[in-house]
């Protein structure tokens, strides 16, 4: 997942198994997993492969939260803004991370290491406040805990 800088996968291989308009979302997910984001070029390849208007694909990409049109950092931090997390002050945590990394939500640090995003409930409500870095959930966060987690990521 994090190898999109070093090893560029072949888009045609990625798209091999997709052939209908119904596959737009899974195909885009696959593109994002392989390349870190959905570039226009790759979307065009998909459009050709499944014979869909490009505009429908860009409509879908911008509709769903998950898709990114720009690369993300090596570590992509998703802070949960679900109800339980809100009740446990996740808004303050989000601000804290913004301050710590000196970026705004939706941005990437200059060294490309971290990017930050606020997401809807990730379902770790009982461990609120929580965040997700790639597929791993971190619960019961405090500023100190965030420091420890982020500082350990190089």
- Closest Cα to residue 19, out of 44, 56, 55, 47? 47
Both tokens of 150, joined, read 């982020």
- Does the protein bind another protein through residue 5 (CB under 8 A)? no
Of 40, 70, 142, 147, which lies in the binding site for another protein, with binding defined by CB under 8 A? Answer: 40
- Does the protein bind another protein through residue 19 (CB under 8 A)? no
**Bridge partner residues of 117 (DSSP):** 78
Select 93 or 132, whichever has its Cβ closest to another protein.
132
Q: Which of residues 111-140 bind another protein (CB under 8 A)?
A: 119-128, 130, 132, 135-140
- Does the protein bind another protein through residue 107 (CB under 8 A)? no
**Residues 109 and 102 sit within 8 Å (Cβ to Cβ):** yes
The stretch near another protein (CB under 8 A) out of 3-11, 65-73, 102-110, 142-150 is: 65-73
Q: In 3-state terms, what secondary structure has residue 51?
A: coil
């Amino acid at each position: 997942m994090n190898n999109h800088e070093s090893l560029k996968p072949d888009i045609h291989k990625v798209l091999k198994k997709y052939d209908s308009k119904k596959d737009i979302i899974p195909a885009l997910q696959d593109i994002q997993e392989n390349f870190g984001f959905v570039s226009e070029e790759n979307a065009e390849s998909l459009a050709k492969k499944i014979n869909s208007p490009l505009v429908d694909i860009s409509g879908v990409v911008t509709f769903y939260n998950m898709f990114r049109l720009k690369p993300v950092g090596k570590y992509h931090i998703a802070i949960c803004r679900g109800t339980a997390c809100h009740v446990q002050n996740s808004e303050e945590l989000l601000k804290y991370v913004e301050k710590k990394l000196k970026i705004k939500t939706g941005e990437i640090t200059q060294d490309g290491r971290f990017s930050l995003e606020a997401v809807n409930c990730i379902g770790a409500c009982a461990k609120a406040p929580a965040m997700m870095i790639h597929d791993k959930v971190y619960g019961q966060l405090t500023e100190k805990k965030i420091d420890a987690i982020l500082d350990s990521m190089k």
